[in-house]
Amino acid sequence: MNTYDGDRRVVITGLGAISCLGTGVAAHWDGLLAGGGEPAEVPLPHLNMRTTKMYLVDRADVPAQPASHAGVELGSSPRLAVAAAEQALADAGVEEAARAAVPVVLGVELGNADMQEIQRSAGRTAWTTLTPAAAVVGAEIGSRAASTSVGNACSASGYALTIALDMIRAGEATTVLVGGAEGITRAGIGAFNRLGAADPVRCRPFDRNRAGTMFGDGSAMLVLEAAGHARRRGAEPYAELAGAAWSCDAYHPTAPDPSGDQIVRAMTEALADAGLSSSEVGCVIPHGTGTPLNDVVESQALHRVFGGRTQALPLFSLKAMIGHTTGAAGAFACLTATLMLRHRTSPANTPIEQDPECDVWVPQERPVRLEAPAVLVNTYAFGGNNTSLVVRDVVGAVRDVAGGGEGVARVGTGVAGEDAEGARGEHR
């Protein structure tokens, strides 16, 4: 049973990441400051389609183990998940003996599809489990608590984060390992090509020439913890996961509701859950996939939530730097929001030729200093599945991640990111 020490906040105490930017949290942040990754040709034969690129993890960084679990051969997604999970638990200082009580909640959309495709091309007719990652991670870290796999398409890890948040608030756990993982999949790329929603150039959210999205692979993991529990064991949190909300359009299997009413609802209720006003948000990480209608609808929704502040509120277009990591996108965005608060900085965006219909501020020349204590994260998905999350400062202590997450805690609420180039940033 969870005990709170009178403090019901949910804090983030550990981070782990593997993406096209490299392995580890420091590599992720440095890669964002350097302008993000570049798409590469997918190393699979017979890609007879228009778009054949992804933002790929360096193949040398994809772990070879575990190769199987409970008789199921494993592809890259669950192996990436295990590696990022170990990073996050080590970063949080969760000792081996304590891991048995840590539930695992993962968002996975395409899961073990790359292994299924390999097996199918070899002539095997039997299908294996598509989403074993949560069970694999639980087994590998020694957890004997619940393992939950969430499959709400591209909002999967956004939903996973809200489930983990609720588990801690409800007293079902003191610590939860939560995140997402995705690998290469011919089927996923092919599906978006057939839908006409795959950009052959790169992922270009809010660009007038955007032609769809482009995938990325990788894994992002976070350790969430009851603030009182973290305090008792001497853990210094990075940030607080202060609020979350879900909504559903129920409008169309793939297209967003043009009204944007339900994504406005998700943002508004997440802020209310966090006890914050829109004026206390210093940056938004939008869903921003690069698909033509989605970016316009989200831009309009942001104006409804933030009003006159919208054109002075920086957006950080994460998918332009690491691609659309589908089921892992919400976890990557939450991890990135956490690092933004740590450094008080939103990195400069990848240069675009902005679509005038997307009347939002996407700063591109240099990093921007955060002027408010919270970052709003949006994740949307086919079927109208929407989530919004609010990550905010933890008053009194900030974790130093410059050396990979093992630095000395800094007490106070001053600017922790002035070491980043241009941290004092531009303003609009």
The pLDDT tens digits of the residues spanning 308-363 come to 999 999 999 999 999 999 999 999 999 999 999 999 999 999 999 999 999 999 99
Q: State how beta strands 374-381 and 147-150 pair.
A: unpaired
Cα(344)–Cα(413) distance, integer angstroms: 10
* 348 CB neighbour count, 10 Å cutoff: 24
Within-domain flag for 1: no
* E-state strands within 144-299: 147-150, 175-182, 218-226, 239-248, 281-285
Query: Is the backbone peptide bond immediately before 356 cis, with ω within 30 degrees of 0?
Result: no
**Packing angle between helix 156-169 and helix 329-343, nearest 10 degrees?**
70
Tokens 């008792």 appear where? 232
Is the residue at 271 inside a domain? yes
What's the average model confidence in pLDDT over 222-228? 96
- pTM given for the model: 0.90
Q: With 80 as the cut, is the pLDDT of residue 78 above it?
A: yes
Is residue 417 included in any domain, yes or no? no
Question: What value does the mean pLDDT take over residues 125-143?
Answer: 86
User: pLDDT value at position 410?
Assistant: 27
| More confident position, 202 or 256 | 202
Helix (H, G, I), strand (E, B) or coil at 46: coil
Q: Is residue 426 part of a domain?
A: no
Residue 254 lies in a domain: yes
pLDDT at 416: 31
Distance CA 95, CA 105 (A): 19
pLDDT per residue as tens digits for the range 352-403: 999 999 999 999 999 999 999 999 999 999 888 999 999 999 974 334 343 3
Domains of the chain: total: 1
Q: 419 in a domain, yes or no? A: no
**β-bridge pairing 345-346 and 410-411:** unpaired
Query: What does the alpha-carbon distance between residue 270 and residue 267 come to, in Å, rounded to a whole number?
Result: 5
Pairs from 256-261 (Cβ < 8 Å, separation ≥ 24): 256/293, 256/294, 256/297, 256/380, 256/384, 257/297, 257/384, 258/293, 258/297, 260/297, 260/298, 260/300, 260/301, 260/304
> What's the pLDDT at 161?
98
The DSSP H or E segment spanning 56 is none
* Contact by Cβ (8 Å): 423, 417: yes
Query: In the structure, what pLDDT confidence band is assigned to residue 4 with cuts at 50, 70 and 90?
Result: very low
279 falls within a domain: yes
Joined together, the tokens standing for residue 237 give 């949190």
Mean pLDDT of all residues in 233-246: 97
Instruction: Give dist(CA 278, CA 268) in Å, integer.
Output: 8
For residue 124, pLDDT beyond 50: yes
Query: Token digits for 140?
Result: 């590998």
Is the pLDDT at 169 greater than 70, yes or no? yes
Binning pLDDT at 50, 70 and 90, where does residue 70 land? confident
Nearest to 135 by CA among 71, 188, 64: 71
Strand partners, 406: none
pLDDT category of residue 6 using cuts at 50, 70 and 90: low
Q: Are 264 and 305 in contact (CB under 8 A)?
A: yes
Average pLDDT, the chain: 88
* 304 belongs to a structural domain: yes
pLDDT attached to residue 66: 93
Average pLDDT over residues 295-305: 98
Answer yes or no: is pLDDT of 427 > 70. Answer: no
Quick one: pLDDT at residue 129?
72
- The residues, ordered by sequence, that sit 6+ positions from 140 with a Cβ below 8 Å of its Cβ are 66, 82, 85, 86
Could you tell me which residue, 274 or 123, shows the higher pLDDT?
Answer: 274
Any long-range contacts for 262-268 (C-beta under 8 Å, 24+ apart)?
262/384, 262/386, 263/297, 263/298, 263/301, 263/378, 263/380, 263/386, 263/388, 264/301, 264/304, 264/305, 266/378, 266/386, 266/387, 266/388, 267/301, 267/302, 267/305, 267/376, 267/378, 267/388, 268/305
pLDDT tens sequence across 349-362: 999 999 999 999 99
**Residue 101 confidence (pLDDT) above 60:** yes
Among 260-269, 366-375, 406-415, whose mean pLDDT is lowest?
A: 406-415
Which of 89, 58, 94 minimizes the C-alpha distance to 76?
Answer: 58
Give the domain CATH number at 210.
Answer: 3.40.47.10
What percent of the chain is modeled with pLDDT above 90?
75
> 147-150 and 104-107: which strand pairing?
parallel
| Rg of the chain over all Cα atoms, to the nearest angstrom | 20
The domain in which residue 136 lies consists of 10-411
3-state secondary structure of 305: helix
Tokens 């659309």 correspond to what residue?
Answer: 324
